[in-house]
Each structure stands twice: as structure tokens, then as C-alpha cells.
Structure 1
Amino acid sequence: MHVRDLAQYLAELAENNNRAWFVMNKPRYDILRAEFLEMTTRLIAGITRFDPAVAACNPKKALFRINRDLRFARDPKPYKTHFSAAITASGLKKPSQGGGPAYYFHVDETGQLLIAGGEYMPPPDRLRQIRRQVIADADGFSAMLKNRKLRAAYGDLQTEGKLTRPPKGFDADTPHADYIRHKSFIVWNERSVAGMTGDEMERIVLENFRDAQALVQWLRTVPGDSQGEMAPSRN
């Protein structure tokens, strides 16, 4: 993966987010997309060594499209300004598809690499199931939160917003009441890709995915068919 070329391309796309520029630079996009797919394929193989559940994940389906869905968007820009992928046991990405807890990463137009694991903004039914499992498996949830690798790489569970009080049906004095107010069950960290080689980025992403495994594994214990999605995907 030519990391510097990818960051440069995304920065230029952010400045020229229109179809004419995209078409003119399509050969660059095709090369970078192919490299990103190759890296994702290797990452799936790497994850499989410590989490065999993702072995069947199709790397082509793990990648997010560059085109934005403009049907309900206020922002008319047609293209995303990041390359991203979500690796799940089901091989699916989106909450509506039942993708499940995932290992996620992206590189954006500012040259930032984001690495994440867990479920980002799962649908209401799935979120309710997760919250119930926090109570039903309070000891297991506590053990996951204390996982040494998870805490060293990410700290505590993160959220992009949570309820001011416990949701309906949950008491304020219930175990892990603060976490029950979360709308997402995710961890993530970010770093600059400046000066980073493709091999270095691949190694860093894989190491951080391994560190996020405790959360991903715990989320798989949550009952129910709908498995939600992970991490801040910006899709």
C-alpha cells in the first residue's frame, strides 16, 4: 500500500469533490483501491490467526464504497474522502444487514488512520439486547473492560454521545449503569500516517485489531439475530 499516495489522493479529492475531477483521476483511484483491497485481504488472513470466526469474510464486501448516498443527504458532495473497511464474522457491514461486531479501519483526507472495534450505533433492538447482556453478564462485561491489551491500546469504551439517564426499562442503580447509557459499544484510536509505510500501517492495524478482540468476542455473546455494526464508519 502506497500510504503517502493514498493520503495525497484523498486530500486532493476533498478539495475537488466532483465527478469531473474523479473521472480524470480514476486511474489513481483504481490503483489505490486495488492496493487497499490487497491489504484488507491480508488483514483478514492475519485476524483469522487469533479470531478464526472472520475467516469467511469476503474482502471485496468488507470495503466501503467511495460513492456517498445522496438520497437524504444535505451535503451534495458525491464522494467520501476516506478509504475504509469493516471485517466481520458474517462478512456483512451495515446494521440493516446484521453485520455484527467488527474490526474497522480507515484512512482519511487529513492523513489520519483510525482503528476501531465493536459496534457503532446499532439499531434499537440490537442496542436493547446489548444493554440487557451488560446486566445479565455483568462479571463477563467487567472482565472485558479490564482486559489488559484492550485498555493499553484504547483505554475505556468510547462513545459519540450517550443518554443523560438510563433508558426506559433500566434502573439507575443497575450494574454498569453508565455503560448502559451508551449508544455505541466501541473502542478506537487515531494516528497520523505521515512517514508510515504500507507494511507499518498493516502491522499497526493488525496489532490493534488483536487488542480489540476482547470487546468483539464479548459482543458476540449477546443473544439475538441482528448483530448491528461497529465503530465510527463515516459511511
Structure 2
Amino acid sequence: MHVRDLSRFLFELSESNNRAWFVMNKPRYDILRAEFLQFVTQLIKEISKFDPAIAGCEAKKALFRINRDVRFGKDKSPYKTNFSASILPNGRKKPSEGGGPAYYFQLDGNGRLFFAVGEYMPPSDRLRAIRNHIVADPAGFSKLLKNKGIKEVFGDLQDEGKLIRPPKGFDANHPHIEQLKLKNFMVWTECSIEGMNAEQILEILTRGFKSAHPLAAWLRSAADCS
């Protein structure tokens, strides 16, 4: 994967996000997409070394399309300005589809790498299963929150969109009530990849995903994610 070429393409796309420009630059996109697919294939192999459940994930299924869904948003730009992938055992791209925890990352035209592990906006039944698991396994969840590897790379669980009040049916005095209010169960971070090559990015992602594997494993144990 030629990182500099990819970043340049995505930067130019962000400046000229229209179909005419994309058609003219489609040959560049096809080459970069093929290289990105190879990169994700290698990343899956590396993740599988510490998380065997990922071994069966197909790289093609992990990649997101570059076309945006413009049906409901005010932004009618036709294309995403990043290359991204979400790696799950069952091939579903989104934890919100009920697929359980994912290893997600994206590269953009500003030379930034964003990566995350966990479940973003899981459906209501899945969210309840996670909350029930916190109640059923408070000691295990406490250990997870204190995990040194996770905290060093990602910090704490993200609390965007957190409920103001305790969710219905859960004790307001529970020791983990603040986590029970969460709508997302994930950690994320980002960094600059300026001057880096694909091997260096692969190392960053592998190390980061490995550090957060305990979160993925705990979430999978919350309920059947199939």
C-alpha cells in the first residue's frame, strides 16, 4: 500500500468531491483500492494471531464502499474521503447490525489514522445484553476498566451520547452505573501517519488492536453475537 499516494488521492477527493472528478481518477482509485485490500488481508492475519475468531473474516467484506448514502443527510457529497474497514468474525461491517465487537480503522487525506475496538451504537437488544452482562459480571468488568494495555493506548471507554439517567430496569446505585448509561461500548484513538509506510501502520494497528482484545473478548461473552 502506497500511503503517500493514498493520502494524496483522498485529499484531492475532499477538494473535488464530485462524480466528474472521480470518473477521471477512477484508475487511481482502483489501484489504491486493490492495495488497501491487500493491506486489510495482512491485518486480518496479524489480528488472527491473538484473536483466532477473526481468521475467517474475508477482507472484501470488511471494506466499506467509498460511495456515501446521501438519501437522508444534508451533505450530498457523493464520496467518502477516507478508506476504512471493520473486521468482525462474521463478516458484517457494523456492530450496529448485531455483529458484536469490531476492529475498525480508517485513513484520510490529512494523514490521520483513526482506529477503534468495540461496539458503536449497538441495537437495543444487544445493548441490553451488554448492560446485563455488566450486572452479572461486575468483577470482570472492573478488571476490564483497569486494563493497563487498553488505558495506555486508548484511555477509557468513550462516553459520547451517554444517557443522563440510568437505563430503565437498572439500579441507579450500581457501582458501574456510569458505564451502564453508555450507548456505545468502544475505545478509540487517532494519530498522524505522515512519513510512515504501510508496514509501520500495520504495526501500529496490530499493537493497538491486540491491546484492546480483552474488550472485544468481554463483549463477545456478553451474549451470542451470531
The answer to whether the 8 A contact 1:158-1:186 is kept is yes
1:162 maps to 162
Inter-partner Cα distance in structure 1 for 2:225 and 2:39? 30
Inter-partner Cα distance in structure 1 for 2:185 and 2:6? 29
Report the 3-state secondary structure (helix = DSSP H, G, I; strand = E; otherwise coil) of the residue aligned with 2:188.
strand
The answer to whether the 8 A contact 2:84-2:105 is kept is yes
Report the 3-state secondary structure (helix = DSSP H, G, I; strand = E; otherwise coil) of the residue aligned with 1:55.
helix
TM-score by length of 1: 0.92
TM-score by length of 2: 0.96
Per-residue CA deviation, residues 153-187 of structure 1 (Å, 9 max, x unaligned), is 11111132201111111121113100111110000
Inter-partner Cα distance in structure 2 for 1:201 and 1:128? 35
Opposite residue 189 of structure 1, the aligned amino acid is T
Opposite residue 148 of structure 1, the aligned amino acid is K
2:99 maps to 99
The answer to whether the 8 A contact 1:129-1:224 is kept is no
What are the residue-to-residue correspondences of 1:203-214 with 2, within 5 Å?
203-214=203-214
Between Structure 1 and Structure 2, how many residues are aligned? 226
2:71 maps to 71
1:187 maps to 187
Inter-partner Cα distance in structure 2 for 1:106 and 1:159? 21
Inter-partner Cα distance in structure 1 for 2:187 and 2:130? 15
Opposite residue 98 of structure 2, the aligned amino acid is G
| 2:219 aligned with 1:219 | yes
Task: Tell me the CA shift for residue 147 of structure 1.
Answer: 1.6
Greater length-normalized contact order (CA 8 Å, ≥ 6 residues apart):
1
Inter-partner Cα distance in structure 2 for 1:209 and 1:189? 11
Unaligned runs of 5+ residues in structure 1 are: 227-235
| 2:122 aligned with 1:122 | yes
Inter-partner Cα distance in structure 2 for 1:78 and 1:195? 29
Task: Tell me the CA shift for residue 90 of structure 1.
Answer: 1.1
Inter-partner Cα distance in structure 1 for 2:98 and 2:181? 22
Opposite residue 17 of structure 1, the aligned amino acid is N
Opposite residue 134 of structure 1, the aligned amino acid is I
Opposite residue 99 of structure 1, the aligned amino acid is G
Q: Which moved more, 1:10-19 or 1:139-148?
A: 139-148
CA RMSD, aligned part only? Answer: 1.3
